[in-house]
Structure 1
Amino acid sequence: MKILIVSDSHGRNNYLSKVLDKVGDVDMFLHLGDLEGTEDFIEAFVDCRVEMIAGNNDYFTEIPREKLIQIGKYTIFMTHGHLYSVYFGTEQLKEAARMRGADIVMYGHTHMPSIDQSDDVIAINPGSISKPRQPGRQPSFILMEIDKNGEAHFTINYV
């Protein structure tokens, strides 16, 4: 199973088609907030199951701010991250995930990609697909792949 994870598109979806061309078919598409009104476009554009949450710049939407989903054996807590002080680390975020029984927490907000597998909760941030802030400022996304044994593998990718 192949899952495409993006965040912080800020209404600019020009890289989305490039990403989909690069990765090919995906089984699921996750957006971690700051869509800025493009949720209908994304739903129509992507041909798979779509899960989205709202970010701090998503003012007039009915998309939930947080969500728990199941992918294989993993419970995933999706949040934009701005409510958990993610600029100062992931401890508060991971604790919120633990309280919800999640194995993985996925967040955005910082516009910098990260995969933190340092303890019992994995923290994933795909960075920004439109306004990157990491050195080199290359738009980024994460691919999550579930292997034949049901184990999750994550890779940071660049447009």
Structure 2
Amino acid sequence: MKIGIISDSHGAFGDFKKAYDFLEDADYILHLGDVLYHGPRNDLPDGYDPKSLAELIKNDDRFIFIKGNCDSEVDEMVTAKKIEDKYLLLEFDNFKFLLSHGHRKNINSEISGAESKGYDGFFYGHTHVKRLEKDKILVLNPGSTSIPKDCCKSFALYEDGTFYLYNLEDLSIIKLVKMAGEDE
């Protein structure tokens, strides 16, 4: 199973397309929210082209979406995709992950809640700050493909029990975490 994980694209087509092309053989692509609109707190990202981004998404059945604070009903109309409203429980390769955009509650309480329910991990976006760590459960924020608030634009990939966090600019691995065994 190969799954791409993206968040906070905010309508920036070029950067999204670079991650999308890298994930061409992924079985699924999870988008953790803030797909098309840049939002009132953000400047227009480079390559802002939500119409082209919507068309790309519309023609690909691999996408699963979580609603972010900048997403609306019109996003569902132009992408022809269902956007899950608050949370989504996703199971693959015998793991259970809770997905959220991350803007509704305190992230630490969200992580504790996922842990107390016996989930293997919690994925979120919203902060535009990448995070990949595993203590009791895996915690993943793929960062932002358009407006990073840390070092670089980024996205994540799951393949064969390992999560990878990638720098979008040069496609180098920033960090990896294995679901079982030693991390690198």
**What's the TM-score bracket when you normalise by the shorter of the two chains?**
0.7 to 0.9
User: After the TM superposition, which residues 1-159 of structure 1 pair with which residues of structure 2 at under 5 Å, given as runs?
Assistant: 1-36=1-36, 40-46=54-60, 49-60=62-73, 63=83, 64-86=85-107, 91-118=108-135, 120-135=136-151, 138-146=152-160, 152-159=161-168
Equivalent residues, number: 146
Q: Quote the sequence identity (%).
A: 32
d(CA) in 1 for partners of 2:128, 2:2: 22
Shift of 1:104: 1.1
Give unpaired runs (5+ residues) of structure 2.
Answer: 38-49, 77-81, 169-184
1:78-129 Cα deviation digits (max 9, x unpaired) = 101112223xxxx3121221344421110001101110202x2211000001
Describe the shift of the 1:8–1:99 C-alpha distance in structure 2 as closer, same or farther (beyond 3 A): same
1:33-66 Cα deviation digits (max 9, x unpaired) = 11136685353354x5321100111133562221
Tell me the TM-score normalized by structure 2. 0.70
**Match for residue 149 of structure 1?**
none
Give unpaired runs (5+ residues) of structure 1.
Answer: 147-151
d(CA) in 2 for partners of 1:21, 1:40: 15
d(CA) in 2 for partners of 1:99, 1:58: 29
Describe the shift of the 1:157–1:94 C-alpha distance in structure 2 as closer, same or farther (beyond 3 A): same
Larger Rg: 2
Tell me the TM-score normalized by structure 1. 0.80
Partner amino acid, structure 1, of 2:139: A
